Structure 1
Amino acid sequence: MIKNIASYTTLSLTICFILYDVSFSSNETVNLSKEHSTEGLDLNYTVLDDTSKDSNLLASNELFTPYLGKSFVGFKEALAFRESGGDYFSVNTYGYLGKYQFGTETLKMIGIKNSAKFLKNPKLQERAFIANAERNKWILRRDIKNFVGKRINGIIVTESGILAAAHLAGPGNVKKYLRSYGLDNFADGYGTTVYHYMKRFSGYDTSFVKPNKEAKAI
């Protein structure tokens, strides 16, 4: 009997101790700020600083430009990059001039007689590109109507492809290419063909260019 009373007393005291410990823990506010503080530590982060990253990009020779898609501006800039790397002051080994690599005879047809001044005038070069495209579109207007949408040499003919090829080879050689269904494939002095430009510059929006027989840059 005395043994049983002692056991009950021990059990009661254990329960009371557990309840007291739980009550104390629930009322205590745990403060980890001191235990886990970084104050006074020498921190060494390995995350790349965005500022230094941007500086590295700016210091490189990479050229970043907005994506122009298949717009007319995208068309002329892509063509300029292919012709000269977009350099207004470029002269190639055959004497073709400027950002779009014009020959002197073509310049005369659109009203430009002083090629030296032309080379130094970016605004005039841009006007020359538009005028030449308008003139070529007028010359090729029937071929654009008859061949756009048809497949020649495995590619779908588009208006932008026709105009790009005319810039490369002249409208007469583009007519020959289209009307021979790709058999008469003119190549320039560097081996670039009408077919290559028809493929490379296909699908751009050139509706901005209006056919104009008398188009002039000046």
Structure 2
Amino acid sequence: MTLQVLLVDDQALVRAGIRSLLELSGSICVKHECADGQQALDWLAAHSSDAVDAVLMDIRMPVLDGIKTLQAMRELDTSPPVLMLTTFDEHQLVLDAVKSGAKGYLLKDVSLETLVAAVNDVASGKTFIQPAITERLLTGIANNPPADIEEQSLIEPLSNKEQEILRLMAAGCSNREIAVSMFKSEGTIKNQVSSILGKLGVRDRTRAVLKSIELGLI
């Protein structure tokens, strides 16, 4: 089945490049393009909630940027998952994007293989954060900690094994890859990941990684 995406970027050449790359994959096509967040909101409002499987959106645009567009999309009855695709990698932008509802975050210099994997993940309800961004988050937050970092806390401490799993999650490993690395069954790892999410008080893997970075756990 071919996945359909809405592409939102203010640069026409960038949109053309991304469209061409996705067409090469043979499994993803661009159904519609928008030059800013307001155009995207108008298009989504005029079409059914399942018009596209995912949205690929730049974070910095005129008229309405990616963060404000994400926040406005929350008010729609239903909206497709959003994958932020940008040249900017400031850690605060990543945090703001995920807190505003983004399901993934990629730099525009990623390979076609990574881009396709990310679109497939968010379209299927998963989250995706590029390991390279995780590394930059660690550096950025270490140098400029969020103002509210001291107010954040764990619901329950993580075990040594859970911390190890969390580090592998931050490296972009899937449950299967973690299971192989730790000589455990995939089902066991899935249960432990669920436990980690509960202790961190988050809904998904991306938020788990981001919060663990903010708390200095990894």
TM range (shorter): under 0.3
- State which structure, 1 or 2, has the greater radius of gyration over its C-alpha atoms: 1
The two structures have a TM-score, normalised by structure 2, of 0.21
Q: TM-score, normalised by structure 1?
A: 0.21
Looking at secondary structure, tell me which structure has more strand per residue: 2
